[in-house]
Chain A
Amino acid sequence: GDSVTQMEGPVTLSEEAFLTINCTYTATGYPSLFWYVQYPGEGLQLLLKATKADDKGSNKGFEATYRKETTSFHLEKGSVQVSDSAVYFCALSDLGNTGKLIFGQGTTLQVKP
């Protein structure tokens, strides 16, 4: 079945460091891909999305490119801030076909001043 695999955390970085969180997926169809962020004590909220191969999603300085050839959707940011500390989830959406939205296990990011 469809699945999403994220790099294990926690990831600890200093402010202004470069961030990469790896995400790979397996899917039988052509899903949409999302990154969600969860700040402490809150629900998940959308960070960015890509709906087809080679699309690049971007928001708040974060970027991710839908790579069909490597089945990847890695999250990157050039210069992280303390306020970026959160849990990040990669997700695959096949709601239109199977009703499924599948999440990775989440990666905790801690940014130190």
Chain B
Amino acid sequence: EAQVTQNPRYLITVTGKKLTVTCSQNMNHEYMSWYRQDPGLGLRQIYYSMNVEVTDKGDVPEGYKVSRKEKRNFPLILESPSPNQTSLYFCASIQRESSYNSPLHFGNGTRLTVT
């Protein structure tokens, strides 16, 4: 089954404790992206990757890191989480060559709480 898998679904942590949210897709998509969803703000793009070893900042990259060593994986790293990073996070992927008329495939989300 074609899917984007995020882990964990729920995470509660404390300020400053490094964490990683994993994202994996099995569709051989070149493009992957991370979003955060906050009430009244919609989805805002954190980072995206056009292909292996190529990553770019989205609209809200501060406090986050990503890597794209393999095509299928795109982990999101919070080196020193802070309470303002409490949010619902989504990973998504798409085939670049059909991106003009194809939808993003989304994971089911990771709800992160930083205390």
Chain A residues in the interface with B (C-beta under 8 A): 4, 6, 32, 34, 36, 41-46, 49, 51, 89, 93, 95-96, 99-106
Contact = CB atoms under 8 A, between A and B. Distances in A.
Interface of A is mostly: strand
Given A99-B56, A100-B58, 11 more contacts: A32-B100, A43-B4, A49-B103, A89-B43, A93-B99, A95-B31, A95-B94, A100-B45, A101-B45, A103-B43, A104-B42
A105 B40 CA distance: 6
Interface of B is mostly: strand
Q: How large is the interface on B (under 10, 10 to 19, 20 to 34, 35 or more residues)?
A: 20 to 34
Nearest to A104: B42
A31 B48 CA distance: 18
A32 B4 CA distance: 22
Interface of B: 4, 31, 33, 35, 37, 40-45, 48, 50, 56, 58, 90, 92, 94, 96, 99-101, 103-104, 106-109
Identify the interface centre among A44, A89, A103: most chain B CB within 10 Å of its CB: A44
